[in-house]
Amino acid sequence: MSPSNNNHADRGYIIPIGGAEEKFHNPEILDRFIDICGGKEARIGIIPTASELEDTGRNYEKLFRQIGVKHAMVLPFESREDCDNEEYLEYIEKSDGVFLTGGNQLRLSTTLGGTATAQLIRRRNAAGMHVAGTSAGAAFVPEHMIAGGLEGSTPTPDMVTMAPGLGLTNKFIIDQHFRERDRLGRLLTALAYNPFAVGMGLDEDTAAFISPDDAVEVVGSGGITIIDPSELSYSSMHQARRGEPVSLIGVRLHILVAGGRFKTASREAAPE
């Protein structure tokens, strides 16, 4: 079990973002993240590992400082060796929040997975540090990560590729750019393989602020699709062949927009 699941009362927020969050005109999601991290005095570590673009980290560093954060620093983990860098580890140790940028989530999992950096982020989140991730960074946050897959609404056995994620929570499986890229089928496929988790499909410019007790609040301009398989009564996943549609009976689905809430413990959804 990941450290973050051991003591809910002390854990920091986990904030997956669906990608393409508003950065300039009304950066509501980033403002909220900064606020819970402590406001202008917050110390934010930015991890751009998922991106292949050299300026991604610096752009977020400038953005956080423009919003008003005094202490924001890029932590350029480009190799597994970098993940043992004492300067970077010390910065995370003293940070109020960590922000994982978008890109390719497999770059995150293969670079950070199992390293001192990943272990430290889990420990610090369990002790109260907040962790946000956008796009690929959002997919990487949970224990079970969607690494890739196909578009479409109907699940099939080969529609999703799973890999180990950062492990901040085992309560959710997260997908991003959800409505924009037609990813309902691959999230349903992931849940058919792992029906103990709650599926969370994040539209762009939309975030789930997951509190220490695993309650979800929606922030942003889009919607979040919550898929609850706790009452799943039948799945044909065990007998379906590659490319064949999978039958799932008893799955509950909620669409939540800004202000909407979902209580993971009771599986109750509410508009506000």
CB half-sphere exposure, 224, CA atoms < 13 A: 34
Q: Is 135 noted as a catalytic residue in this protein?
A: yes
> Can you read off the two tokens belonging to residue 53?
């673009």
Catalytic, 233? Answer no
Cβ-Cβ contacts under 8 Å for 272 (sequence gap 6 or more)? 259, 260, 261
CA 58 → CA 27, 65, 186, distances in Å? 17, 11, 33
Q: Which residue of the set 135, 144, 217, 235 is catalytic?
A: 135
Go through the chain and tell me how many residues it has.
272
Q: Would you call 16 exposed, middle or buried from its count of C-beta atoms within 10 A (0-12, 13-18, 19+)?
A: buried
Q: Which of 21, 61, 204, 217 is catalytic?
A: 204
SS3 35: helix
Is position 231 annotated as part of the catalytic site? Answer: no
Cβ(88)–Cβ(48) below 8 Å: no
**Which residue is catalytic, options 61, 95, 130, 177?**
177
Q: Give per-residue burial for 152-181: e unless 16+ CB within 10 Å, then b.
A: beebbbebbebbebbbbbbbbbbbbbbbee
The residues assigned a catalytic role are 135, 177, 204
